[in-house]
Structure 1
Amino acid sequence: MKPPPTPRLAAWLMAASLLLLATNLRPLFASTAILLPELTQALGLSGAQAGYLTTLPVLCLGLFAPLAPRLAQRSGIERTLLLVLVMIIAGSALRGVLGVTGLFLGTGLAGAGIALGNVLLPSLVKRDFPDRAALLTGLYTMSLVGGAALAAAVTLPLTQALGGRWELGLALWAVPGIVALAAWAPIALRTSGRSANGRHILPVEGLRRDGLAWAVTLFMGLQSALAYCVLGWMAPMLRDRGLDGTEAGLVTSLSILLQVAACLLTPMVASRFRDQRGLAVFLAASATLALIGMILGPRWSIWPLAVLQGIGQGGLFALAVMLIVLRSGDAHVAAHLSSMSQTTGYILAACGPLLIGVLHDWTGDFQATTGLLAALGIGTALAGWLAGRNALVRAAVVQDPSRIAAQAS
């Protein structure tokens, strides 16, 4: 019989599998965005319908996030993440069949799986890597954004290589999920579904009455609204300015690749400061002003502004995830703060790409969206200033077994 891995090797295998899983949490958004003009033409989508398509997965992130702690209470984090991968694989594949119906159903199914993964991964970092939380948060967010960058760069060339068949270009993103499933399944299946060794998430009380928790929630939501405007609309914005599809995808990919670097560095920088207020304001200003400049500025400035935008946007996302870890006293509080911030935050974030689509439909260009982007940037900076203060959220873990059972039912 093969001996079990040593604790150190098991930790490294867990970390590597976690990062592979995280890589699958963003290709859904970028692959849809980069093919949006082709989808609109092939399926006859209106501007509003295109807005609904880019908004749907973001809305799913908010609607399904509350289920994550409950599922983890019943089955454990590892097995819930196994379900996450199955949903992403099935949803990604479904986008390539049944026309408009499959496109929307598959996007919704994969979005629901991503919602569960978003909530549970920060809690897993807090639980299993408490002494390396900044490093693992950076690597996790880097992998997550890296998946989006890869999708932005290769989706259109792959689709063109497949004879312009957009349905194959979208469905192919089930393949990385299958690879991650093969790596994660042994970890999940080794974990007893009803073990009492701390693998489950316990309920907490008082979180929604805490002002700091709401500041973290608003910061997550507003920076996410900016992020999904970038993921959903940067490529169409650039194509509207006259760039061809391949160049627009490369600019978007460059911006997202810079997000990868910012995701790795920001948590380590943030952990060195007593608080993170100034960093939050700086990153919000960089991401917002650069995005507005890409819409209104001269064409020669698009590439350098994409660099600045990527650094700001990636830093904002990594900081939002890091604040969930820094402001939580333990893994149980982190899971529920993650759920709260992503439930409310992503429902708020869904308004961003939807309003971009509506404004573009009304005016015929993207210049009218700059006021909305400026408002999102100012709101993000204010929320980050409040969430960045050095304190812990006030929430108590419920230890009464009868109350735990009641809340899990």
Structure 2
Amino acid sequence: MEELDENGLSKSTRILLLVGVLIISLNLRPALAAIGPLIELISADYQLTEALLGLLTTLPLIAFGVVSTITPVFTKKFGIGNTLLGSLILLTLGIIIRSLGGIFPLYFGTILLGIAIAFGNVLIPALIKRNFPHIAGLVTSLYTGVMSLGAALAAGLSFPLATEFNLGWKGSLAIWSAFSILAIIIWTPNIKRIKRVPPRRSFKVAIKKLSGSLLVWKLALYMGLQSFAFYTVLAWLPSILIGKGMDANYAGWMLSLSQVTGIIGAMVIPIWAGRRKDQRLVILVLSIIEIVALTCLMIPEIGIVELWVSMIGIVLGGTFGLALLLIVLRSNDSETAAELSGIVQSIGYFIAATGPFAVGVIYDLTHIWNYAILLLIVVGILKLILGIGVGKDQKV
């Protein structure tokens, strides 16, 4: 008979639960990453401004900000497993509605899938804290690596699916619902493997306690700035490269390259950081790489765009994985991890939501993409300053 862990699970059952977590993770980015390469096609159909197109990336981030804070309310009532199942069903509906055609379904479906993804963003770190606390760095690396893989697939395949396979942008967006349907099938048996634990405190008490912590605010700002950079690149990198004279297909593949190299960062950095009590050195190295790569991308004469895009991808994947790992490392238990994850990601994504929209407005006003890159460099410097604080070994 297999030995059971503190949650009453055997080794084989934990593996099945991990598979379920990873299949959910695979669904947390494709619906977002698919938009960037298709922006020009959507714009051609609906004649939208750059600022309105930026909302297609911004709206999910606003949904992240609103829903993340209240996610613990759902988990205290329905449990983590049922809440995640509901989010997968909502994600599928959002993807399908967005693909029906028309401006209202486009934006309404985008809001729905943003709400759905928010639940997964918040709850996966809590599951890691609860079921895989002794290998949190490894599991976080797998989780963020699979997320980056999903983003890379969507970034690289969306434009070819729309053009070379004649699906159009609507069909290209709709195809990602197949992943979420598969996730529903695989996740459903896992619900019974997650033991319901009575909450130790109310949602109101938890928020009051966490919101009074300086460390929580530093974590939230760090999460916000890394997400600001990630979603700005996700939304506008193809347009930035096209503006520098590169063709749309190449620009789409560069976005895909940034997501592929992001897988490396997402898998390597949490393992490296998870083995250290203090993560400040990790944050310093990532910040230097990011600032150098962005600076070089501003100057077309330097060339080797593939190198700078790859470096940016590694950093963005790595800082995302690191931010999620810090939530796990800075909390004492799974309930605190869920609450901390909620408040940190809520504040963080409200900050991130300003990125794609702000860049769209900046370009509408100036028609110069280097201002967007300069903004990302400033964000990189701010991440370094905040990272020195959150990298210390301490608990909320």
Name the TM tier (shorter chain): over 0.9
For 2:291 and 2:120, locate their aligned partners in 1 and report how far apart those are by CA, in whole Å: 27
Stretches of structure 1 that go unaligned for 5 or more consecutive residues are 394-409
CA contact (8 A) 1:122 1:338 kept: yes
Normalising by structure 1, we get a TM-score of: 0.90
1:185 aligns with 2:185: no
For 1:378 and 1:130, locate their aligned partners in 2 and report how far apart those are by CA, in whole Å: 31
1:170 aligns with 2:170: no
For 2:237 and 2:63, locate their aligned partners in 1 and report how far apart those are by CA, in whole Å: 21
What is the letter of the counterpart of residue 129 of structure 2?
A: K
CA-to-aligned-CA distance 1:366-391 (integer Å, 9 cap, x gap): 12223321221111111111111111
For 2:302 and 2:58, locate their aligned partners in 1 and report how far apart those are by CA, in whole Å: 28
The equivalent of 2:394 in structure 1 is 391
Query: What is the alpha-carbon root mean square deviation over aligned residues?
Result: 1.8
The equivalent of 1:76 in structure 2 is 79
CA-to-aligned-CA distance 1:146-184 (integer Å, 9 cap, x gap): 100010111111111342511111111111101111100
CA contact (8 A) 1:76 1:199 kept: no
1:313 aligns with 2:312: no
Aligned to 1:143, the other structure's residue is in SS state helix
1:42 aligns with 2:61: no
1:114 aligns with 2:117: yes
Normalising by structure 2, we get a TM-score of: 0.93
**Shift in Å, 1:291:** 3.1
CA-to-aligned-CA distance 1:218-274 (integer Å, 9 cap, x gap): 110111100111111111111222222221121111111111111111111112223
CA contact (8 A) 1:281 1:382 kept: no
Judging changes above 3 Å, is the alpha-carbon distance between structure 1 residues 148 and 201 closer, same or farther for their aligned structure 2 residues? farther
For 1:298 and 1:30, locate their aligned partners in 2 and report how far apart those are by CA, in whole Å: 29
Residue correspondence of structure 1 range 354-369 to structure 2 within 5 A: 354-369=357-372
The equivalent of 1:373 in structure 2 is 376
Aligned to 2:332, the other structure's residue is in SS state coil
CA contact (8 A) 1:328 1:334 kept: yes
CA contact (8 A) 1:72 1:200 kept: no
CA-to-aligned-CA distance 1:45-93 (integer Å, 9 cap, x gap): 1111112222111111111111211100001001100011111111111
Choose which of 323, 329, 335 in structure 2 pairs with 1:326.
Answer: 329
For 2:301 and 2:321, locate their aligned partners in 1 and report how far apart those are by CA, in whole Å: 30
Stretches of structure 2 that go unaligned for 5 or more consecutive residues are 1-7
**Shift in Å, 1:6:** 7.4
Moved more, 51-60 or 36-45: 51-60
* Total equivalences in the alignment: 385
Aligned to 2:303, the other structure's residue is in SS state helix
The equivalent of 1:402 in structure 2 is none
CA contact (8 A) 1:28 1:110 kept: yes
Residue correspondence of structure 1 range 341-356 to structure 2 within 5 A: 341-356=344-359
For 1:368 and 1:156, locate their aligned partners in 2 and report how far apart those are by CA, in whole Å: 26
1:198 aligns with 2:197: yes
What is the letter of the counterpart of residue 113 of structure 1?
A: A
What is the letter of the counterpart of residue 335 of structure 2?
A: H
Choose which of 218, 223, 238 in structure 2 pairs with 1:220.
Answer: 223
Judging changes above 3 Å, is the alpha-carbon distance between structure 1 residues 200 and 181 closer, same or farther for their aligned structure 2 residues? farther
Identity value in percent: 34
Residue correspondence of structure 1 range 159-308 to structure 2 within 5 A: 159-163=162-166, 165-188=168-191, 190=192, 197-198=196-197, 202-203=201-202, 204=206, 206-298=209-301, 300-308=303-311
What is the letter of the counterpart of residue 16 of structure 2?
A: L
What is the letter of the counterpart of residue 280 of structure 1?
A: I
The equivalent of 1:336 in structure 2 is 339
The equivalent of 2:25 in structure 1 is 22
Judging changes above 3 Å, is the alpha-carbon distance between structure 1 residues 201 and 267 closer, same or farther for their aligned structure 2 residues? farther
CA contact (8 A) 1:284 1:313 kept: no
Aligned to 1:35, the other structure's residue is in SS state helix
**Shift in Å, 1:212:** 1.0
What is the letter of the counterpart of residue 281 of structure 2?
A: G
